[in-house]
Every structure is written in C-alpha cells, then in structure tokens.
Amino acid sequence: MVKNLFVTGGVSSSLGKGIFAASLAKLLQARGYRVTIQKFDPYINIDPGTLNPYEHGECYVTEDGAETDLDLGHYERFLNVRTSQANNVTTGRVYQTVIDMERRGDFLGKTVQVIPHITDEIQRRMLLLGETGDYDIVITEIGGTVGDIESLPYIESIRQLHWRLGKNDCLVVHLTLIPYLAAAGELKTKPTQHSVKLLLEAGVQPDILVCRTEHALSQELRRKVALFCNVNINAVIEARDAASIYDVPLEMLRENIDRIVLAKLRLPSSGEPDLQDWRDFLTRLKNPKTDVRIGLVGKYTELQDAYKSIQEAFIHAGAANECKVVLEHIQSESIDENNAARLLGSLHGVLVAPGFGERGIEGKIAAIRHVRENNIPFLGVCLGMQCAVVEFARHVLNMDGAHSTEINPNTPYPVIDKMKDQADLKEMGGTMRLGAYPCRIFRKTKAYAVYGKTNIEERHRHRFEFNNDYLKDFEAGGMIASGINPQQNLVEIIELRNHPWFLGVQFHPEFGSTVESPSPLFRHFVRAALEFKEKEPQMQGAAVPEGARHAF
C-alpha cells in the first residue's frame, strides 16, 4: 500500500517547501524507502515553459521532455532519481483535461463544477504515481500559500483524500513561518495559528508543522504551537535557516522528522538512515582546498532562481574538485568589446548562459571573444553555444554580420538557424525540442575527454541549431563539431582545437547534475578553471603552449 504525504505552505511564500520536501524524501530514501515527489502548481499556464524566468525562476526540463517547476530540479538533485511529465501538474492542465472531457460528452446532462469534477481530476492525478507500484511513499507539494483563492481546490482535494485513504496512509505536513520581532525580542506564533486555522476551515488538520525560524524554538513555544494547532508537541519541527540547502536533510534528521513521519504512517523506522555519501559530499563542500572565480554571463542576473540548475551544478562540480566555485553573475547587457577585459579580467572561467531573444546578445558575443582570445576556459550552454558559433563566424571566419536567425532573420550568414521541424510551428507552448536526446561524441576531442564515452544523453530545450551548411568552414577554421545527434545529424557540441578548454553544448548539462552524480561537463570545466588559475600569469593573452591543453 503506497503512502501519501502532502506538503502545504502557510504565512508566506519562499519558505522552501521544495527543499523541505526533497530533504524529507532524502531521509526516507536513505532508510531504504522508494520515494518520489510531485508538485501541483495552482497557476493556469499548462506548464511554466511559457513563463519568463523573472516570473517563476528557471524552467526545469525532465528527461521525458516536460517543462516544469524548478522544484523538480531539487528533487532530482537530492534523490538522484529522475522525475517525469507526471511529477508536475498545474491548474491549467487539470482544467484542460476536464474541459476536453466535457466536450467529449463524458459528463452529459451534468453541470461541470469545481467540486466534484476539478477536485476529482486533481485527486486522480495525485494518486497516479503511487499506482505505478514503483514507490512506497509519494510526497505531493502544493505550490502557493494556504489562503490563496487558487489553492482552494487543492486543499479540498487533500481533505477528500485524507478522508478516503485514512490517517495511516495519508499525512499532511504544513510548512509555516515563526517570525522574530526584533522590537519585541520575541518569536511570534500568531501567523502560524492563523494559517493552521485557514487549513482547518477548509477541513484539513495538519499532522506535522514545520516551522521556519531564524532562532531556536523553545519547548514552551513548541507547546504553545502544539496546543493552538492540535498537533503533538513532537510534531512541531524547527527548521532554522541553513548555510546550504544541502544541510537541510541533516537538520531535519536532528529533528527526527523521518521517525515521526514513519511512525504516523505505521512504517518501520529501525536503525539510522544511511547518509554516508551525503555527509562525504558535505565534507568536501565545506572544506575546499582552493577556489576559482567563474563568471556566469546572462541576462537574468538580478534573479537568483533564473539559473538555479547551473548554480547547483557548480556546487556539485566544486565539491567534486574540492574547490569552492565563486560564481560572479555578469549582466550580459553591460559587456562590450571595450570593457570585456576589465569585466572578465579576474575570472578563471566563463559560462555563457541559455536564453531567448535579442537582449544582451552582443554582450555575450563580446565576452566570448575575450575568453577565446585569452585562452580562458569557456562553457557555452544552449544560447551560449550558439553565441560562440556566431562569434567565431564573425571574427575568425570573417563572416561579417553572421548571426542566429532568432535574432536577425535577414543575416547574410545564418550560422544558427531554425530546426527544420520547427519551421511551420505556430504554437509556442511545449513545442521546442525538449528532453533527452542521444549524442555521439567523437574520440580524440575535449568532449570525449570529459565524458569518457562515445554515447551520451543530455536534455534539450531549444528551437534553433547549428546550420550544417557552414560546418566545413568552421572545421577548417578550428571550431569542430565534437558531438552530434546520430539520427538527425544536429551539432550538439562544438569545441576549439586551438584553445585549452572551450566547449559549447546545444543541450543543458546542468539539468542532469546531482549531488551523487555531478555533471562531467561542469566537473571538467571547474578543473580547467583550476588549471587556468595555476598557470594564469603565463596563460593570459599568450599563445597556448602544447602542454597546457587540458586533458587532450
């Protein structure tokens, strides 16, 4: 019998429900349970693929090609298991299904209503992953905050499921905030009381309260929360701000949340969770032997969450290299040919980020020219790779005005062009080349040194591609295609022969990076940055000495 655990949030957004859910899942997984997490988002978009990163942070892509909430990235990074289309559901998708059913005539004669039709569809989807037989415990995180109008059908669905499944098979964990009022010098429980009251009005009694707080919760305060909110005192969990999100599983372990959850679900909890690998990772993360400075050039630099998976991939890669990666966010719009040397001068590596549209493109190209000419390690991801191709065309192959047709449809040298199967598409939602595709890597390339094998799979999210009409010119000039898609012959990886470490990838290696299995590309990029740092005085601006070529 699969057990269901729901995570709701109260008082405020950004309490870290996703990190909490991933941490709890990690503890249960480390005790041998098969766990997955799904996210239900109350917005009306069918998926976050059409949302600007400023609205909702990064759009995370699963192997099966779903454009999803960035919390799914946390689930994969913590659990090292893959999520899928089924792990992220939005109100838009729920309504679309119900409206399609109505048009088909499935409800003939009936008025179609939020209760029961929408809530039935929500519950059906909530139980789907559990029905696969692949999991012992399914954790369902509800986006938004209790009290939002749009969350109501989800809370109502939890109420009905709690009743249907019974309290031994269904738990509700409510994440809430205990603010500290500096003027009063006190932690305040009232917002939590109100938020639980809202849940109770909707007919849901939370079983466990996880309280985000900046200060320790005294026994007295825990007793007060327990009393007002009808939970056991041991089910009032303190969740202090942690130095790193990767500390949270251990913080939660200290609060015994895994035992409390398992006892309530009537599941055995003998012994301790096996977190040895996780602790080893944390030890490496917290005791770096050295550091490197890497520039992240992108246009969404004001918002931390826009490049979440890239940031996390650097954390995994840094720990693997026992090196702290200091990530400097550089607004691509601020870079030009004249200031690139100054803005990028102190860096040991530069990553040019994925993205869409014209804004900041010329800055990205100027940054790439600087790192190419100065032998600074470079990784271009998706749009970053496309910009590297444009830069090379313009400045090495003398193709004046070369561009991607995404930015300039009339360029004389369309070195990046729309993929053939994209040409006639009119709809924008869910129509890019999405998800994992195979890539064949050629031996004796830097890409082969990175992956150590000829066949890999990485995830994609793009419409444009390298234009193969120009491949011969590029290869003759020193930029080679070191990885291609074997079925469609699309260029997936480009690299420079005459540079210590310069790679561009059409895919997104960051989505596959986990604590247990860091992305090889990020790992090698950080290593190249370390080597650059060691040899920096000779390397900057000088011709590359043969011996300085990285792993080649």
Among 308, 348, 446, 461, binds ligand GLN (CB under 6 A): 461
Candidate ranges 38-46, 207-215, 327-335, 460-468; the one touching ligand GLN (CB under 6 A) = 460-468
Q: Does 535 bind ligand GLN (CB under 6 A)?
A: no
- Judged by CB under 6 A, the number of residues near ligand GLN is 10
Q: How far is CA 193 from CA 208, 391, 459, in A?
A: 13, 58, 44
Pairing of strands 60-61, 180-181: unpaired
Inter-residue contact 215 to 187 (CB < 8 Å): yes
Q: CA 24, CA 5: separation in Å to the nearest integer? A: 10
* Helix or strand run (H / E) with residue 411: none
Shorter beta-carbon distance to ligand GLN: residue 6 or 464: 464
Candidate ranges 218-226, 244-252, 354-362, 450-458; the one touching ligand GLN (CB under 6 A) = 354-362
Candidate ranges 113-121, 274-282, 322-330, 348-356; the one touching ligand GLN (CB under 6 A) = 348-356
Shorter beta-carbon distance to ligand GLN: residue 156 or 417: 417
Q: CA 332, CA 320: separation in Å to the nearest integer? A: 29
Candidate ranges 8-16, 177-185, 349-357, 489-497; the one touching ligand GLN (CB under 6 A) = 349-357
* Helix or strand run (H / E) with residue 236: strand 236-240
Q: Does 356 bind ligand GLN (CB under 6 A)?
A: yes
Who contacts 181 (Cβ-Cβ below 8 Å, separation ≥6)? 187, 188
Among 155, 383, 456, 526, binds ligand GLN (CB under 6 A): 383
Q: CA 147, CA 152: separation in Å to the nearest integer? A: 7
Q: CA 279, CA 128: separation in Å to the nearest integer? A: 33
Q: Nearest-CA neighbor of 137 among 293, 267, 39, 321? A: 267
Residue 358: CB minimum distance to ligand GLN, A: 10
Q: CA 521, CA 528: separation in Å to the nearest integer? A: 10
Site for ligand GLN in 384-413 (CB under 6 A): 406
Q: Give the CA count within 13 Å in the CB-facing half-sphere of 398.
A: 0
Q: Is 382 a catalytic residue?
A: yes
Shorter beta-carbon distance to ligand GLN: residue 47 or 238: 47
Shorter beta-carbon distance to ligand GLN: residue 354 or 500: 354
Residue 204: CB minimum distance to ligand GLN, A: 39
Candidate ranges 36-44, 247-255, 342-350, 461-469; the one touching ligand GLN (CB under 6 A) = 461-469
Q: CA 38, CA 71: separation in Å to the nearest integer? A: 9
Q: Nearest-CA neighbor of 354 among 507, 526, 480, 522? A: 507
Helix (H, G, I), strand (E, B) or coil at 162: helix
Amino acid at 122: I
Q: CA 501, CA 340: separation in Å to the nearest integer? A: 19
Given the residues 510, 524, 531, 550, select the one marked as catalytic: 510
Shorter beta-carbon distance to ligand GLN: residue 65 or 354: 354
In terms of C-beta distances under 8 Å and separation of at least 24 residues, what long-range contacts does 216-224 make, across chains too?
Answer: 216/240, 217/178, 217/187, 221/178, 221/187, 221/189, 224/189
Q: Nearest-CA neighbor of 483 among 516, 423, 438? A: 438
Shorter beta-carbon distance to ligand GLN: residue 18 or 380: 380
Residue 354: CB minimum distance to ligand GLN, A: 3
Inter-residue contact 24 to 252 (CB < 8 Å): yes
Q: Is 508 a catalytic residue?
A: yes
Q: How large is the angle between the packed helices 119-128 and 91-104, nearest 10 degrees?
A: 110
**What does the block give as tokens for 316?**
């995994």
Q: Nearest-CA neighbor of 82 among 135, 126, 28? A: 135
Q: Does 258 bind ligand GLN (CB under 6 A)?
A: no
Among 155, 285, 382, 530, binds ligand GLN (CB under 6 A): 382
Q: Nearest-CA neighbor of 294 among 378, 232, 183? A: 378
Given the residues 59, 211, 229, 382, select the one marked as catalytic: 382
Given the residues 316, 508, 524, 550, select the one marked as catalytic: 508
Shorter beta-carbon distance to ligand GLN: residue 193 or 405: 405
Shorter beta-carbon distance to ligand GLN: residue 106 or 469: 469
Residue 467: CB minimum distance to ligand GLN, A: 12
Candidate ranges 83-91, 177-185, 187-195, 459-467; the one touching ligand GLN (CB under 6 A) = 459-467
- For 215, phi and psi rounded to 5 degrees? -130, 160
Q: Does 355 bind ligand GLN (CB under 6 A)?
A: yes
Site for ligand GLN in 462-481 (CB under 6 A): 462-464
Shorter beta-carbon distance to ligand GLN: residue 278 or 378: 378
Among 206, 354, 360, 414, binds ligand GLN (CB under 6 A): 354
**What does the block give as tokens for 174?**
């409510």
Candidate ranges 63-71, 146-154, 164-172, 458-466; the one touching ligand GLN (CB under 6 A) = 458-466
Q: Does 67 bind ligand GLN (CB under 6 A)?
A: no
Shorter beta-carbon distance to ligand GLN: residue 239 or 385: 385
Q: CA 183, CA 204: separation in Å to the nearest integer? A: 34
Within 10 angstroms of residue 282's Cβ, the number of other Cβ atoms is 18
Q: Is 329 a catalytic residue?
A: no
Instruction: Catalogue the active-site residues.
Output: 382, 508, 510
List contacts with ligand GLN (CB under 6 A): 354-356, 382-383, 406, 461-464
